[in-house]
């Protein structure tokens, strides 16, 4: 038997009252359906005529009516997907670079309250600000900087790296700067 082959079933198999569970082969008739419908649909008042359909020579039934309709579209049709990211710090920049590549049909907007990208590296500009972990760890794995000036680099150099990253991956085209998100 093929997986796509229609299989005739009997009402006793549906209701579980048959000693033979092999679904041996007699098609459902009105009397069998009426007796099993009460156990299958918990008392729903459906008639065989309302729910029976002849498909490829076999009578099939669904225990209750439904208005579900299959749409006519290919399985790989791309539907638009609207996504909002709050913040253009490192996570927002990574989302801006990777999501358009990985999610077809995405309509991405990145909101940030500041006038440029970089998150904490854009906001904190006090003298001596620097990374507390080695710089080569604090970067994108797919866009590495091999020319850090120091092992624990300064804030302005990190900020420049992330601004260059945003330009390289066209993240600026997805930004809405000077926009504070206060609710959703």
Q: Say yes or no: 89 and 149 in one domain.
A: yes
Tokens read off for 109: 């907007």
Residue 2 forms part of a structural domain: no
Instruction: Return all residues near 55 (Cβ < 8 A) that are at least 6 apart.
Output: 6
> Mind giving me the DSSP string for 98-133?
HHHHHSTTEEEEEE-SSSSS-THHHH---TT-B-SS
Residue 76 forms part of a structural domain: no
Residue 104 forms part of a structural domain: yes
Q: Give me the pLDDT at residue 36, please.
A: 45
- Cα separation, 108 vs 170, whole angstroms: 12
Sheet with 81-86: list strands edge to edge: 81-86, 106-111, 175-176
pLDDT tens column, 22-58: 444 444 444 444 444 444 444 444 455 555 565 555 5
Q: Give me the pLDDT at residue 28, please.
A: 45
* Number of structural domains in the chain: 2
- Could you tell me the residue range of the domain that residue 170 belongs to? 81-176
Q: Say yes or no: 87 and 52 in one domain.
A: no
Q: Say yes or no: 57 and 95 in one domain.
A: no
pLDDT of residue 59 exceeding 70, the answer is no
Cα end-to-end span (Å), the chain: 54
What predicted TM-score, i.e. pTM, was given to this entire model?
A: 0.60
Least confident of 21-35, 67-81, 119-133: 21-35
């Amino acid at each position: 038997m093929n997986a796509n082959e229609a299989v005739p079933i009997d009402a006793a198999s549906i209701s579980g009252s048959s000693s033979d569970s092999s679904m041996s082969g007699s098609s459902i008739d009105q009397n069998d359906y009426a007796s099993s419908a009460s156990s299958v649909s918990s008392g729903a008042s459906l008639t065989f005529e309302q729910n029976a359909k002849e498909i490829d020579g076999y009578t099939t039934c669904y225990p209750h009516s439904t208005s579900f309709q299959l749409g006519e579209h290919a399985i790989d049709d791309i539907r638009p997907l609207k996504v909002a990211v709050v913040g253009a710090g490192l996570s927002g920049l990574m989302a801006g670079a990777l999501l358009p590549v990985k999610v077809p049909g995405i309509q991405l907007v990145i909101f940030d309250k500041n006038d440029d990208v970089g998150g904490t590296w854009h906001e904190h500009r006090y003298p001596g600000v620097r990374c507390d972990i080695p710089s080569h760890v604090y970067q994108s794995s797919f866009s590495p900087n091999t020319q850090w000036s120091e092992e624990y680099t300064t804030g302005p150099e990190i900020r420049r790296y992330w601004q260059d990253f945003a330009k390289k991956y066209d993240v600026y085209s997805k930004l809405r700067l000077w926009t504070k998100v206060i609710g959703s």
